[in-house]
A and B are shown apart, each in its own frame.
Chain A
Amino acid sequence: MTEALPVLLVFVPFLAGLGQFVLGRAAPWCQQFVSGLNLILVLLLSSAVVHGDPVIADLGGWGEPLAIHLQADGLAALMLLLTAVLAVAVSLYAIPAFRDEPRPAWRFWTLWPLLLASLNALFLSRDLFNLYVTLELVTLGAIPLVLLAGPNKTVDAALRYLLFALLGSLVYLAGVALIYAQAGTLDLALLPAALPEGTLSGPLAAALIITGVLIKGAILPFHIWLPAAHGNAPAAVSAILSALVVKAAIYLLLRLWTGPLEPLVSNDAGQLLGALGATAILFGSWQAFRQSRLKLVVAYSTVAQLGYMLLFFPMAVTAAWQGAVYHGLAHGIAKAALFLAAGNILYYLGQDRLEALRGIDRPLAVSLLAFGLAGVSIMGLPPSGGFTAKWLLLSASLQTGQWWWTTVLIAGGLLAAGYIFRVLRLAFLQADDATAPHHGPVPGPLMAWTATALALLALALGLISAPLLDLLGEMPGGTS
């Protein structure tokens, strides 16, 4: 019975998306059922995985090495859980957000379940080529969603995103071809044993695959497509992109690094990735501090926050493993809350320039609460999920004697406090003159409270970390 769960997780939203496409008009209620069912399926799957053994589905029944397998282990279950929770919240938020625009609404309610299916498929895949297909699916689902804000505004951002993503796919695929040429299999479980050692093409393939994933994951220096795409998309879409889509690429890096690529990568490569991550943290936070538009602040914050997950690679101990993955969860929830709250502000003001934020504290109190609470997790203050993640990374850096990552962690937290408080300070200042410029409608309770619920969840992640870290388990193949 449990092996049907991975299959259902891919095909329930996939068929829902196809049905929505055929229907030809928006049916938001249908997606609420799908995201609810998706959450239930993920919870069932997690309860099956938490007892130890992964859940495996053999598609077509052809067995190894021929069939594509879907596999859910602790890491996959956690990412599915993050996706499912955000799917419920974003689907609720999108009902009022897309209510007035029938045409974009239909496209959103078609693309969003398809993207959900693609994300689920990516997290469940156990096959190097199938992962390429799912990466393509995720990207090509994400790019049309960016365009929903209106082609005139976003076509440059979407096109840049597309070109970078295609470059990333191509580089990744070249690596996969090299791996298959040597190993004769694409199954992640069989690859470590099948790869010959001491060749040039092994590390070359690993380098190509990692570079491809870094481009898709918008890791510095490949981040330049991200701020425009995430900053100009509709709020619900920005939340999905920043919390899930780029994270899927980093997830893949964690999965491959500790799995099939493990014999091919060196400690130096890990240090290099760590250095990229540290640069991303400092540069991204600094850029976030300098932006003059709210959504660009949040988008650059994503560039920075993704860097923390890369700090796993130089340290590669269980504490770092747990810290990096937990950071993925905490950032996903908190960043979705930030984007939804920023979307509410944009909805009310009709623009998101920072100087226009003065005096919005009264009408948008709930959304600002969400922004502030989510900011606590982004800064890494206790008792939030962000704090737990950084604490784990900190102890890993002390445990491995690599103290320099500690300074990066602290500097990143301070810079994050800088850009979050900069926004909050402006929001609580009095407006210059009573005759404020044109204001749109105040966002309804559904829009305000989904953001707040996510922000509260980001805080709560600091308190409920034990069962989640149990579900994740130890670093694959690692000791201590």
Chain B
Amino acid sequence: MTLLDGLLALLLLLLAGRCVTAASLLQAIVAFIVLGLLLALSWVRLEAPDLALAEAAIGAGLLGVLLLGTWRRLPAGSGEQETPWPWQGSAQAIAALGCVALAVVLALALHETTLGPAAAGTAALAQLEAAGVDQPVTAVLLNFRAYDTLLEMGVLLMTLIGTLMLRRPLQDGALAAPATPLPQSLARLFLPPILLSGLYLVWAGAYSPGGAFQGGAVLAGAGVMLALTGLLRGSTRDDLPLRCLLVLGAALFTLSGVLLIPLTGHFMAYPDDLVTPLMVLIEFSLAISIALSLMMLFTGTPGLCRTRP
């Protein structure tokens, strides 16, 4: 296994180098997607399956789709070799040297760090029973450090608003389904199993690796597939139900945190007998908001609509 790990580390370095040195943008994007997949494998080797799932679904999957989508919309020829500025070479050399130096110092520092049992981690495992779920990662994300997760939903929403602002006013033509070799019948065939596995991942978060972010990313993937085959398309008309669903996760999370204060005495605490159902409810609502946000980052439109044959 040491050989495998070594090979993995070497490949990661090579692919990372390829990302920044590739001659064309498309090659760099492909290298980046492969890098994400190998990174997910590394997380598996480091026994962090939650991170592996998130990295594969978001890092390699959705990020790759977003990058490729952007690449396709670039004017032809841009992003290839541009004329270099005069001191580009030396600036790149300095940046590269700085990164190598930082990596060496980091490696030295990590080498001498002895990992003891972390106080916060130990406390989390000790109180897992009271947290309402069996999976420590989910307990941290939705209970012990629920506040962080809630604020992350704010990050996602503001990013979405910012991205939609960059979108140029669309002509109707731009909204038409892109030409794709993926036939719609195939998408219809794949849709149920993808939706099912996405929902399963959300549900599984309670007792095994998975959860709102991983499941939401898979659901968003299903949406991207529908958009790519033209079954679903972006629309310039934004509608109230969609906006409600986009804030559903954050709103439900906050309101349950505030409204239950009389029962628990603390903000974002759950009463003992309601903790599991509440957390599952919140997890699913978060997954819906995450999936829609990620999908709309892909379409880049304030609304979505079905394509009628």
Contacts and interface: CB of A to CB of B under 8 A. Distances in A.
Answer yes or no: are A and B bound together in one complex.
yes
Interface of A: 4, 7, 11, 14-15, 17-18, 21-22, 24, 57-62, 65-68, 107, 110-111, 114, 117-118, 121, 129-130, 133-134, 136-137, 140-141, 143-144, 147-148, 151, 155, 174, 178, 180-187, 190, 194, 199-201, 204-205
Q: Which of A18, A121, A137, A190 has the most CB of B within 10 A?
A: A18
Interface string B119-150: 11111100100000000000000011111100
Contact of A15 (B113, B116, B254): B254
B56 interface: no
Given A136-B155, A181-B115, A151 B250 contact: no
B270 to A, nearest CB: 8
Given A18-B247, A18-B250, A21-B247, A59 B267 contact: yes
A133 to B, nearest CB: 5
B106 to A, nearest CB: 7
B109 A200 contact: yes
Given A60-B267, A186-B120, A204-B105, A24 B158 contact: no
Contact of B246 (A21, A58, A136, A194): A21
A247 B186 CA distance: 53
Nearest to B117: A184
Contacts of B118: 180, 184-185
Contact of A185 (B119, B161, B240, B258): B119
- SS of B interface (majority): helix
A223 B145 CA distance: 33
Interface residues of B, number: 55
A66 B108 contact: no
B142 to A, nearest CB: 10
Given A24-B240, A185-B118, A11 B158 contact: no
Interface of B: 105-106, 108-110, 112-113, 115-124, 127, 143-148, 151-152, 154-155, 157-159, 161-162, 165-166, 168, 238, 240, 243-244, 246-247, 250-251, 254-255, 257-258, 261, 264-269
A24 B243 contact: yes
B265 A61 contact: yes
Contact of B165 (A4, A65, A144, A180): A144
- SS of A interface (majority): helix
Contacts of A148: 165
Nearest to A67: B144
B258 A11 contact: yes
A307 B113 CA distance: 35
Contacts of A205: 109
B165 A59 contact: no
A146 to B, nearest CB: 9
Given A4-B267, A137-B151, A141-B158, 4 more contacts: A60-B144, A61-B269, A66-B123, A178-B113
Contacts of B146: 59-60
B166 A185 contact: no
Contacts of B269: 59-61
